[in-house]
Amino acid sequence: TQKLISPLNYLQYMFKYIQKASVDIEKMFDIMDEKPEVFDRPEAVDFHCRAGKIEFKNVSFSFKPGRPVLSNLNFVVEPGKTLAIVGPTGAGKSTVIRLLFRFYDVMAGEILFDNQNITTVKQRSLRRYIGVVPQDTVLFNDSIRFNIRYGRIDATDDEVDAAAKAADVHDAILGFAEGYDTKVGERGLKLSGGEKQRIAIARTILKAPKFVFLDEATSALDTNTERNIQASLQQVCAGRTTVVIAHRLSTVIAADEILVLRKGSIVERGKHKDLLEQKGLYHNMWMQQLTPDKHEASDSGNE
Ligand code: ATP
């Protein structure tokens, strides 16, 4: 999987940056090792957040000429609704999320947030309204409280605690020797994957963004741990316009629309039940999840 946030090489730089700045998730992207490729246009204006609608209109994208990664994608996510994206590896799911965050500009078509073209607004003014929960959360080597507060730097301790409770990580934090003051190790190594993701969720709950982009962990089935985290994910998405790369049954069941991507195109779309009845790719992927050892879940992407 192409990670939303790659491991960071610039931790030290980041700390200096954070200490003197009011921070938001955008900065995390600014300083990741993958340099942003797009810049604000000189005439860019502030984004005006309204109800929270997202639209892809005839969007195509490629990294290399002649090898389309996304071809003519069309979808609308109405305010507060959830769009789930599924598909074989290499289908272009992460690329959709990256385009939504404007890591890259589209080759054709347009991406609209509340009817404003993503290329015409100042990135910072839009990213204020975006929360991202990546598959692998990179935590700062600082206290747990700091890591959660990163979502909204002026949040009070009570607000941090409330967010942690909503993300179902409060009790776990109290179980650590120094509670909220416990330092997470370099890159969060002292925490389990689930705890790290919950901290990312708490951070996003604190940010209370209009738009949430989520990359679920790739566990095929709902295990106990996964099921627990599901409740916190629902908290973070409730009432927000959400685009999620989905791997969990409960997510796809709850989604307002599911897009099935294959080689950069939408091959099926609809709700879980309807897609299962179609007995197509979605149905196959589903069966494969139920009996993972019988099939190989791969698709080489663009030939
Ligand atoms: P997975 O489920 O494995 O995460 P995905 O559906 O998210 O896959 P993407 O990561 O969006 O797929 O990748 C879509 C295609 O774009 C793949 O063929 C991938 O190899 C290619 N690709 C992704 N990132 C880059 C890049 N930075 N440069 C060139 N090609 C890339």
Question: Whose C-alpha lies nearest to ligand 1, atom 2?
Answer: 89
CA of 122 to the centre of ligand 1 (A): 26
Looking at residues 237-261, what average pLDDT do you find?
Answer: 91
CA 219–ligand 1 middle distance (angstroms) = 19
Confidence of residue 5 (pLDDT cuts 50, 70, 90): very low
State the average pLDDT over residues 62-88.
95
Nearest in space to 262 (alpha carbons), one of 108, 55, 93: 93
CA of 228 relative to ligand 1 center, distance in Å:
29
CB atoms within 10 A of CB 119: 15
Is the CB of residue 90 below 6 angstroms from any atom belonging to ligand 1? yes
Characterize 26-37 residue by residue with b for buried, 16 or more Cβ atoms within 10 angstroms of its Cβ, and e for exposed: bbbbbbbeeeee
Least confident range of 12-26, 132-146, 249-263? 12-26
Pocket flag, ligand 1, residue 265 (CB < 6 Å): no
In the chain, alpha helices (H): 11-20, 25-30, 93-100, 123-127, 144-149, 157-166, 170-175, 193-207, 224-237, 249-254, 272-278, 281-290
CA angle, residues 108, 96, 75, in degrees to nearest 5:
70
Q: Are 209 and 52 in contact (CB under 8 A)?
A: no
* Res. 302: pLDDT tops 60: no
Give residue 66's pLDDT.
Answer: 87
Q: From the alpha carbon of 95, which atom of ligand 1 is closest?
A: 11
State the closest ligand 1 atom to the C-alpha of 92, by its place in the atom list counted from 1: 11
Q: Minimal CA–CA distance to 208: which of 246, 167, 170, 254?
A: 167
Question: Which atom number of ligand 1 is nearest to the Cα of residue 1?
Answer: 4
Q: Is 93 in the pocket of ligand 1 (CB under 6 A)?
A: yes
Task: Report, as an integer, the average pLDDT of 161-167.
Answer: 92
Q: What is the CA radius of gyration of the chain?
A: 19
Categorize the per-residue pLDDT at 257 as very low, low, confident or very high, splitting at 50, 70 and 90: very high
Highest-confidence range of 94-103, 109-118, 128-137, 176-185, by mean pLDDT?
109-118
Q: Whose CA is closest to atom 31 on ligand 1?
A: 63
Instruction: Kindly state the average pLDDT of the residues 17-22.
Output: 40
Grade residue 27 by pLDDT with cuts at 50, 70 and 90: very low
Average of pLDDT values for 257-276? 96
- At residue 260, the pLDDT reads 96
Q: How far is the CA of 70 from the centre of ligand 1 (A)?
A: 10
More confident residue, 125 or 229: 125
CB 142 within 8 A of CB 11: no
Average pLDDT along the chain: 82
pLDDT-wise least confident of 18-22, 117-121, 182-186: 18-22
Q: Which residues is 68 bridged to in the sheet?
A: 62
